[in-house]
Amino acid sequence: MVPISFGREMGNELVVYGWDNLSTNDGPGVRFALYLKGCSLNCPWCLNPYLQKVEPEIRWKSETCVCDDLCIDSCKYGALQRENEHIVIDYNNCNFCGSCWNSCTTNSLKPVGEYISIDRIVSIVIQETVPQVPPRKVTIGGGEPLLQGEATINLIHRFKEEGIEVYLTTCAGITDRDVWARAIDLVDGVLLHILTVDESEWRELGGMSYESFLRNVYHLKVSSKPVCIRMPVIPGYTDSIQKVRSLLGFVKENIPLVLEMDLRVYTPNSRFSSPMFKLKEKTLTTEQILELCEAIKKLGIEKVHWRGSARKITEYHKMNGKD
């Protein structure tokens, strides 16, 4: 048996969830967005639970599984079992050999996340980006990319050596202050994901240290790096004007250079919506979202976007004359 971490070169490779080489949603301009695995938040509405653990995983889709157990038969390491009609994976025995997902005829098993060396990531970015206006632009996000600590910092260093502009998406919740300070000092800008600025809500919803958050935001303030604010808009939790107002008060006091604000509007029918999470309120209407955007502009942030599948639905209705 070979555990997955055996022989890994710590600090020289990262667990990558995926990437988008033409992202317009991850900071200024067209950017290569790299998504690392692992998240320090614990949001009940998590849209992608497979981002939470740093380690690679195998995704099993019950809806398409035909229960022929070809995967179990193909595993030489005894890492798969069927329990109550579910395929259960024992990661202590799995070495990600790939036999199971390759033997599945219905694509019901798929690997999620893989170790990729820093050299390889840099060469992928260089191959897959041809900037009209240099420099190449990258955003490292996740999850929380700083959970992969030293390796993420090494990657930022390598990007900078190649003359690549680097933004970091983060929720500022990591407890390792040294990793935070070095990363912030290296990057060109930050996409700061803020759930709430209320201490008790922070603990309840985020499950993280509020003290670390405040300390990290203070370092960001001192660094004077440009920041884009991202706020998840969750009906019944974070969607009131009052909450937006208190968040903006915090932002104004603590972040000197805010480039834009990006509202991520939650819709319960998106592909990865957590079945465990039930909204307290109905999803916001387009009018309510636009009202929220206007309120933010009045509070002093000129550039406000809103995104999420709610926006796609609105645009679809507009195209079809229903809005």
Indicate the residue among 68 and 119 with the shorter CB distance to ligand SF4. 68
Minimum CB–partner distance for residue 63 and ligand SF4 (Å): 11
When the beta carbons of 17 and 96 are compared against ligand SF4, the nearer one is 96
As measured in angstroms, the least distance from the Cβ of 235 to ligand SF4 is 35
In the complex, the smallest distance separating the C-beta of residue 6 from ligand SF4, rounded to whole angstroms, is 13
Cis amide bond preceding 135, omega within 30: yes
Neighbours of 300 (CB within 10 A): 10
Question: Which one, 85 or 287, has the nearer CB to ligand SF4?
Answer: 85
**CB of 16: closest distance to ligand SF4 in angstroms?**
17
Burial class (CB within 10 angstroms; exposed 0-12, middle 13-18, buried 19+) of 93 = middle
Nearest distance in Å: CB 69, ligand SF4:
5
User: Closer CB to ligand SF4, residue 75 or residue 190?
Assistant: 75
Of 58 and 146, which CB lies nearer to ligand SF4 in the complex structure? Answer: 58
Q: Reduced to 3 states, what is the DSSP secondary structure of residue 60?
A: strand
Q: Give Cβ neighbours of residue 299 (< 8 Å, ≥ 6 apart).
A: 244, 245, 248
Cβ of residue 5: shortest distance to ligand SF4, in angstroms?
Answer: 14
Residues of this chain that interact with ligand SF4 (CB under 6 A) are 65-71, 74-75, 77, 79-80, 87, 89, 94-100, 103-104, 106, 108-109
Residue (87 or 284) nearer to ligand SF4, CB: 87
Q: Please return the burial class of 181, using the count of CB atoms within 10 Å of its CB with bins 0-12, 13-18 and 19+.
A: middle
Q: Which is nearer to ligand SF4, 94 or 244 (CB)?
A: 94
Least separation, in Å, of the C-beta of 105 and ligand SF4?
7
Fill in the amino acid letter for 72: I
Q: Could you tell me where the beta strands, DSSP code E, fall in the chain?
A: 13-23, 31-36, 57-60, 80-83, 86-89, 109-112, 114-117, 137-141, 165-170, 189-193, 227-233, 258-265, 304-307
Helix (H, G, I), strand (E, B) or coil at 190: strand
Between CA 156 and CA 70 the distance in angstroms is: 42
CB of 71 to ligand SF4, least distance (A): 3
Task: In angstroms, give the least distance from the CB of 82 to ligand SF4.
Answer: 7
Pick from 8, 9, 2, 34: nearest CA to 20: 34
Query: Tokens 């955003």 appear where?
Result: 139
Question: Of the two residues 95 and 240, which places its CB atom closer to ligand SF4 in the complex?
Answer: 95
CA pair distance 147, 190, nearest whole angstrom: 16
d(CA 307, CA 195): 16
Q: On the CB side of 232, how many CA atoms lie within 13 Å of its CA?
A: 19
In the three-class reduction of DSSP (H, G, I as helix; E, B as strand; rest coil), residue 191 is classed as strand
Q: Which is nearer to ligand SF4, 96 or 306 (CB)?
A: 96
